[in-house]
Structure 1
Amino acid sequence: MVESRSCVQREGVYRWFSSLTSAQRAEFLCGLLDLCVPIELRFLGSCLEDLARKDYHSLRDAEIKANNPADLSGLTNITDEVVRSKLLVSLALLGSDNREAAGVLYRTLTHIDTVINNYGLALNDGRTEEQFLLLFTMASHHPAFSFHQKQVLRQQLGQIQDILQVRGMLRVEVHTSPVLLTSAGCSEFS
């Protein structure tokens, strides 16, 4: 009885997890890892190493670029979708102790408020929204960044989420207000 109930719950968690966005999955997994004890983390690290080994050769060139500050310094235009994609790959492949490359990425990512405010970056585009959420979620958890850098990146992630929430509420209001005006108008003029 307990095993079948556990299996049902596990399947529900798997379904729920698979429906999350990449940023939400990364955030959730980092939270779970924070709950693990050291021996569990070492075991999970071994499992991850084994899983990552099969893609090692195909990602080797990208990993070299991701850990080279000179290559990263050219990725500054975060309004460009190609640059954002390269930044995501770079964050995923950045070595956990590469502070110099993390510093270059940090300088690029900390100009997000200027980009949004001065260039009106359309965060309401689904793909753009998802890329920014994933970029800042990954960066705010990445071990190559200092504690202070993670805090700043976390604040910027919060600002992006606030902007998206406000814009989402505005979209809901725009979609619902004509209905409210129409029904109010009908009762007023009848």
Structure 2
Amino acid sequence: SAARQRCAQLDKESVFEWFGLHLNPAKRIEFMCGLLHMCQPLELRFLGSYLEDLARKDYHVLRDFEFRANSPSDLGVLTDVVDPVIRSKLLVCLSLLGSDSRECAGILFRILSSEEDCGFSANDTAGGPLEQIALLFTMASLHPAFHFHQRQVVRELLDKIELSMEEGKRQRQRRLNVQATVMSNKPTLAHLNPKLYIELSMYSFFSIPPWAVINTIHD
């Protein structure tokens, strides 16, 4: 089919570059989860073993963090999503949250659902708070420890965050367009003083001495 032919023409290196350089962290997570949903059962079992081996390399480094991420008492104090330190800790906790940690997922859900707007505006720059919030809500909306209705609520909040991010992009693009228009409409030397512009052009091309140009200007 035509679709299959187009897919066959995709360059693997280009896909890697697109994934690594052009997707933000939230979209990377979402894209990978989407690919896994398309895999066959035996492929998933193989990938599970492969991921388990990769994760084992960092087990000792992350063991203490994983314990705290699955501890209700430790999670209960991480309530201020606006605080960048708390936000970073929540990202770590969601990354290390066990798939059967329902109680901890419930605590995280209450934290996230109480921060609908998170106090950020559409003007926040890329890579800033809104992008981190989007990653946080994306992970929660896909995490198996959350109940279905919890993931739905988080997904609705994520949609609002993404709309804010898109609005921020449009506002930044409009500002760039305005700046470009202003710069293009600035009067140049050729408009302000055509005679001076011609004389300076001659000097740069024929190496006319500066005093000659100055004398010409004052004629």
TM-score, normalised by the number of residues in structure 1: 0.84
Which residue identity is paired with 2:149?
Answer: H
> What does residue 144 of structure 1 align with?
145
Greater CA radius of gyration, 1 or 2?
Answer: 2
Q: Deviations over 1:115-136 (max 9, x none)?
A: 33xx769643633132111111
Q: Which residue number in structure 2 is paired with residue 47 of structure 1? A: 50
Determine if the alignment matches structure 1 residue 173 to structure 2 residue 165.
no
- What residue in structure 2 maps to residue 97 of structure 1? 100
Correspondence for 1:60: 63
State whether residues 122 and 128 of structure 1, in contact with CA within 8 Å, keep that contact through their aligned partners in structure 2: no
What pairs up with 1:82-121 in 2 under 5 angstroms? 82-116=85-119
TM-score (norm 2): 0.74
SS at match of 2:128: helix
SS across alignment from 1:113: coil
Q: State the alpha-carbon separation in 2 of the partners of residues 158 and 8 from structure 1.
A: 30
CA distance in 2, matches of 1:11, 1:174: 34
Deviation at residue 155 of structure 1 after TM alignment: 0.9
In structure 2, distance between residues paired with 1:44 and 1:109: 30
Question: In structure 2, the residue corresponding to 1:112 is in which secondary structure?
Answer: coil
CA RMSD, Structure 1 to Structure 2 (Å): 2.6
CA, structure 1 residues 81+172, in 2 after alignment: closer, same or farther (shift >3 Å)? same
Larger helix percent = 1
- Take 2:64 and 2:121, find their aligned partners in 1: how far apart are those partners? 34
1:23 is displaced (CA, Å) by: 1.1
Name stretches of at least 5 consecutive residues in structure 1 with no aligned partner: 1-5
Partner Cα separation in structure 2 for residue 120 and residue 180 of structure 1:
26
- Answering whether residue 129 of structure 2 is matched by residue 128 of structure 1, we say yes
Which sections of structure 2, spanning at least 5 residues, go unmatched? 1-7, 188-219
Q: Could you tell me which residue of structure 2 aligns to residue 156 of structure 1?
A: 157
Rounded to whole Å, the distance in 1 between the matches of 2:24 and 2:182 is 35
Question: Which residue in the other structure is 1:74 paired with?
Answer: 77
Higher relative contact order (CA 8 A, sep 6+): 1
CA contact (8 A) 2:29 2:139 kept: yes
AA aligned to 1:164 is M
